[in-house]
Chains A and B, each alone.
Chain A
Amino acid sequence: MESHVLLACLKTSDRGPSDSLERVQGHSRIREVRLSVTTSPTESRATRTLDQEITLIERVCAGEQQLFYELISPYERSVYVAVFSLLQNEADAEEVAQEAFLKAFSHLKAFRRESKFSTWLIQIAVNEARMKRRKDRKFLYESIDGRHQNEEGDYFPKDFADWREIPSETLQRTELRQALQRAIASLDPTYQDVFVMRDIQHLSITETAETLQITEALVKTRLLRARLRMRDALAPGFDGAWSIGDGHWKKVRPW
């Protein structure tokens, strides 16, 4: 089905300049920006302005499809990270990330500038990853297991380890990375979605709610639980296993 959409898009663009390109050509200020879009994909992240990005989008829509990679290149990493955090599998994540970019390509004309292009991409990526996850039996078992189904009751922090500072050398450690990934993987899928969109991808509460089609209040509740669980999962590590020296981390456990 996707390929049909993609083909439709390609055919439409083959017909010639779209309205958007005509608008660009009739606008001398943007035209100047167009000419200045000569940075390589790797440079574009640092130097690209919003105008340049919009111009790129319009050029791709108008038929210069080879520019699509340049357009999305600054967001490759964040799209992959979003998808990987939800699927926890490199091969699946790569495949789904590619699919998300292809989907963005075929639906580029539907992009409305009310949101940032990066946000739009992340929303597509998260939705693709969630679809993949739903197809995956492993997650089906998790969701019917009902461990964390009660969103009404309070969640109490399990651990009161004093976790004031993170030594910079600890941040570089592979085990910390792995622990973070394990902690995210251990979250219920519904909490993962919110946590990944808010804390890893920095989408707003409103954008997260829109993408997941839930209320903003539910975004906040799930985010609270996700963060508390993440903290519980990670704090003991900092408290013990990852501490730099003995007694570096003080334990504070009231019960």
Chain B
Amino acid sequence: MPTIEISCVEVWREVSNYIDEVVDPTLRERMQEHFKGCEHCSAVLDGMRNVVRLVGDGQAFEVPAGFSDRLKKRLEEKAGG
């Protein structure tokens, strides 16, 4: 049985849930079918995945030099003092 077509707008509404795998199996299948034939939606999906990947490894941020030492000192003042 062929899957029921889904519009781009509907795909965009669910694309984040799709990445998080919190869409129901039927919708997932319809979206998969849509991505195969729609390069715009595929680009949105891939771009969003890249965003998630880029920020997800935490490498976008640097902890300032000496942060650990200052934190440790402050905790020692509270806990040990």
Give min CB distance, B50 to chain A, whole Å: 6
Contacting residue for A66 out of B40, B63, B76, CB 8 A: B76
B13 and A80 within 8 A (CB): no
Known A-B contacts A69-B72, A224-B17; the reply to A177 vs B48 at CB < 8 A is no
Question: Which one, A21-29, A31-39, A134-142, A155-163, is touching chain B?
Answer: A155-163
* Interchain CA distance A200-B52 in the complex, whole Å: 8
On B, residues with C-beta under 8 Å from A are 9, 12-13, 15-17, 19-20, 22, 39-40, 43-44, 46-48, 50-56, 58-64, 67-68, 70-72, 74-76, 78-80
Residues in A neighbouring B47, C-beta threshold 8 A: 161, 163, 231, 234-235
* Nearest CB in chain A: distance from B71 CB, A: 6
10 contacts between A and B (CB under 8 A): A69-B75, A73-B68, A90-B64, A105-B75, A105-B79, A162-B43, A180-B55, A195-B55, A227-B48, A228-B15
Partner pick for B48 among A69, A162, A166, A231, CB 8 A cutoff: A231
Closest B residue by C-beta to A222: B16
Closest to B59 in A: A171
Given contacts A66-B80, A105-B78, A252-B40, whether A80 and B67 have CB atoms under 8 Å apart is: yes
Q: Are A205 and B20 in contact (CB under 8 A)?
A: yes
CB distance B50 to A166 under 8 Å? yes
- Is the Cβ of B16 less than 8 Å from the Cβ of A223? yes
**Is the Cβ of A101 less than 8 Å from the Cβ of B75?**
yes
Pick the contact of B67 from A72, A76, A228, A252 — CB < 8 Å? A76
Q: Looking at chain A's contact residues, is the secondary structure mostly helix, strand, loop, or mixed? A: helix
Besides the known contacts A10-B79, A166-B50, 17 further A-B residue pairs in the complex with CB atoms under 8 A apart: A68-B79, A69-B72, A69-B75, A76-B63, A80-B67, A101-B75, A156-B12, A157-B44, A162-B39, A162-B43, A176-B60, A220-B20, A220-B22, A228-B12, A230-B48, A230-B55, A234-B47
Q: What is the bound-complex CA distance between A49 and B59, given in angstroms?
A: 24
Sorting the interface of chain A by its residue count into under 10, 10 to 19, 20 to 34 or 35 or more gives 35 or more
Whether A181 and B12, one on each chain, are in contact in the complex, defined by CB atoms closer than 8 angstroms, is no
